[in-house]
């Protein structure tokens, strides 16, 4: 992973921009600042960054519109950093194409960890390394359709496997209930959240050492699920 990656911070509060610039620069990242949505979109289009950090409450436009604008032409990782903590705000941003969401006030260590995960996933995709996913004792070999935990094979049904592989392909990223239902069951099932709860419970019992305290299949309360990437 390259810590000389370029990160654009789109944030209207100067104090937070200064704090982020100092924190990210100390880790070796090149930081570009934008104080509103329009400037952020311009910088994103011209600088071709490796990652965006975006506030939702911008003075000229809603951050969700910035996400949609960037997603019209780029798959660059986008991490939302916002004071909005409602599940509906998180879902709107994630469904629009954001990769992750942290609520202010935030822990800078957690933000740096999320950045590393996003950049690692980007690097793996670019290098064609997405055939095999490995974290701790969990290994998902999508080339041979084989799942193992501590070197013991886990037998999954087609739907269980499909659900797991969707999570694997977006490892470290929060996936909303609607997105998972659409990807696994189809567009007509996006309101059937009970399907997702049932199958996630089954997957946890097959994969997790302690399903009540999952190591891999993590719940984002009121929003969706995330597969641990580290």
CA distance 14 to 192: 43
Give the angle 54-33-176 at the CA atoms, nearest 5°.
10
Q: Model's pTM, two decimal places?
A: 0.78
Q: What pLDDT shows up at residue 3?
A: 59
Cα-Cα end-to-end distance for the chain: 14
Q: How far apart are CA 25 and CA 29, in angstroms?
A: 5
Residues 6 or more apart whose CB falls under 8 angstroms from that of 104 comprise 16, 81, 82, 83
Indicate the domain borders of the chain. Answer: 6-126, 132-227
Q: How far apart are CA 201 and CA 219, in angstroms?
A: 11
Which pLDDT score, from 0 to 100, does residue 1 have? 46
Alpha-carbon Rg for the chain in angstroms: 18
Tokens of 205: 């019992």
For residues 34 and 54, give the distance between their C-alpha atoms in angstroms, rounded to a whole number: 9
Per-residue pLDDT at 125 = 55
> What does CATH list as the number for 132-227?
1.10.10.10
Per-10-residue mean pLDDT, the chain, length 230: 81 95 95 96 93 95 95 92 89 91 92 89 58 89 90 94 92 90 89 92 96 94 90
Superfamily of domain 6-126: Response regulator (3.40.50.2300)
Of 72, 63, 2, which is closest to residue 37 (Cα–Cα)? 63
Q: Phi, psi (5° rounding) for residue 166?
A: -65, -45
């Amino acid at each position: 992973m390259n810590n000389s990656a370029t990160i654009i911070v789109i944030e209207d509060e100067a104090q937070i921009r200064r704090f982020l610039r100092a924190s990210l620069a100390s880790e070796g990242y090149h930081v570009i600042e934008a104080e509103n949505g329009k400037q952020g979109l311009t910088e994103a289009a011209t600088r071709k960054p490796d990652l965006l950090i975006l506030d939702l409450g911008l003075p000229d436009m809603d951050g969700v519109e910035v996400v949609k604008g960037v997603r019209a032409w780029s798959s660059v990782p986008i991490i939302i950093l916002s004071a909005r903590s409602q599940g509906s705000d998180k879902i709107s941003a994630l469904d629009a194409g954001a990769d992750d969401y942290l609520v202010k006030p935030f822990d800078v260590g957690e933000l740096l960890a999320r950045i590393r995960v996003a950049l690692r996933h980007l690097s793996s995709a670019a290098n064609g390394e997405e055939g095999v996913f490995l974290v701790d004792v969990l290994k998902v070999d999508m080339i041979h359709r084989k799942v193992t935990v501590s070197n013991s094979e886990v037998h999954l049904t087609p739907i269980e496997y499909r659900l797991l592989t969707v999570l694997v392909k977006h490892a470290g990223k929060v996936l909303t209930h609607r997105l998972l239902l659409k990807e696994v069951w189809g567009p007509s099932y996006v309101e059937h959240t009970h399907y997702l709860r049932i199958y996630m419970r089954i997957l946890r019992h097959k994969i997790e050492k302690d399903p009540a305290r999952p190591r891999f299949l993590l719940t984002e309360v009121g929003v969706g699920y995330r597969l641990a990437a580290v």
